[in-house]
């Protein structure tokens, strides 16, 4: 979890309360550290195409950025299609890809 204003500006009351409690633990990192995986993927050469990059520490919940573990369902075409359709429905935006 990263310390941004996202929860404070859009979360439910219970989510905000839980977030405020969690902010007092080492489970929450700075917004800058939270952006590192995206920056790494956007700027670093030689990364795997079908991989997950994020916290590489204990249980992938903290630590330096590195390649994480992708569960087998991440490569399941039926699961991918269902997630894509759900995302389009929920966002109200349809991507017309080939």
Task: Report the pLDDT value the prediction gives residue 27, as an integer from 0 to 100.
Answer: 80
Higher pLDDT, 1 or 80: 80
Task: Report the pLDDT value the prediction gives residue 98, as an integer from 0 to 100.
Answer: 65
Task: Report the pLDDT value the prediction gives residue 50, as an integer from 0 to 100.
Answer: 86
Q: What is the mean pLDDT of residues 87-92?
A: 94
pTM score, whole prediction: 0.64
pLDDT in tens, 50-78: 899 998 888 887 788 999 998 998 999 99
Q: What is the DSSP string of the chain?
A: -EE-SHHHHHS-HHHHHHHHHHTTSTT-EEHHHHHHHHHHHHH-TT--SS--EEE-SGGGSSSSEEE-PPPGGGG-HHHHHHHHHHHHHHHT------
């Amino acid at each position: 979890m990263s310390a941004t204003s996202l929860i404070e500006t859009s979360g439910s009351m219970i989510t905000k309360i839980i977030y405020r409690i969690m902010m007092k633990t080492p489970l929450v990192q700075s917004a800058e550290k939270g952006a590192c995986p995206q920056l790494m993927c956007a700027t670093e050469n030689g990364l795997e195409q079908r991989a997950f990059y994020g916290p590489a520490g204990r249980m992938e919940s903290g630590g330096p950025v590195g390649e994480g573990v992708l569960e087998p369902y991440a490569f399941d075409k039926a699961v991918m299609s269902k997630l894509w359709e759900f995302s389009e429905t929920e966002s109200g935006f349809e991507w017309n890809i080939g």
